[in-house]
Structure 1
Amino acid sequence: MGMNATQLIKMANQIGAFFASQPNPEQARADFAMHLKKQWDPQMRTALYVHIDATAGEGLSAFALEAMQGLREQIEPLARSA
């Protein structure tokens, strides 16, 4: 896995900035979540959640963090079998 948290945070913030400019915040978050689900492979999404859980989302924009926490069940790969 060649992606480190710093790269993922930068990418998530850039994508977040794009979607955050939409007039409807709820739709913006949903579109952001859909983009990550479609465009990011599962390892990338998992790695970003590992970072969020470890650091409370250090480095992420408020928009990106809010979307990732609020829509976690949509974005996070369902690889967690207890």
Structure 2
Amino acid sequence: MNLEQLVKMANQIGSFFESMPDRQQAMADLASHLKRSWEPRMRRELLAYVDQQGGAELQPFVLEAIHLHVSTLQ
């Protein structure tokens, strides 16, 4: 799976969780979902993209969730 697909999937998942009323819980739930549902390789690629390129193509909600819950995603 290429990076473009990972970013698209993360943004789609983020759109779902962003609609939840409790923003902080939604971010934690997003990170938890990625941890449970994505292979470690996929999470590593996404984290490397954020770390090395800033994650510009990610929605702000997704990027903030990744920054807040990076330890969950590793």
Scaled by the length of structure 1, the TM-score of the pair is 0.87
Output the aligned Cα RMSD. Answer: 0.6
Aligned residues: 74
Structure 2 Cα separation of the partners of residues 31 and 16 of structure 1: 10
Deviation at 1:54, TM superposition (A): 1.5
Cα distance between partner residues in 2 of 1:4 and 1:52 = 15
SS of 1:59's partner is: coil
Unaligned regions of 5+ residues in structure 2, if any?
none
Distance 1:59 1:19 in 2: 18
Residue type of the partner of 2:71?
A: E
CA distance in 2 between counterparts of 1:11 and 1:33 reads 13
Query: 1: distance between equivalents of 2:3 and 2:56?
Result: 10
More helix by share: 2
Which string of whole-angstrom CA distances, capped at 9 and with x for unpartnered residues, describes residues 11-44 of structure 1?
0000000000000000100110110000000000
Q: What SS does the aligned partner of 1:73 have?
A: helix
Structure 1 residue 68, shift from structure 2 partner: 0.6
**How many Å apart are 1:4 and its aligned residue?**
1.2
Moved over 2 A (4+): none
C-alpha deviation, 1:49, in angstroms: 0.8
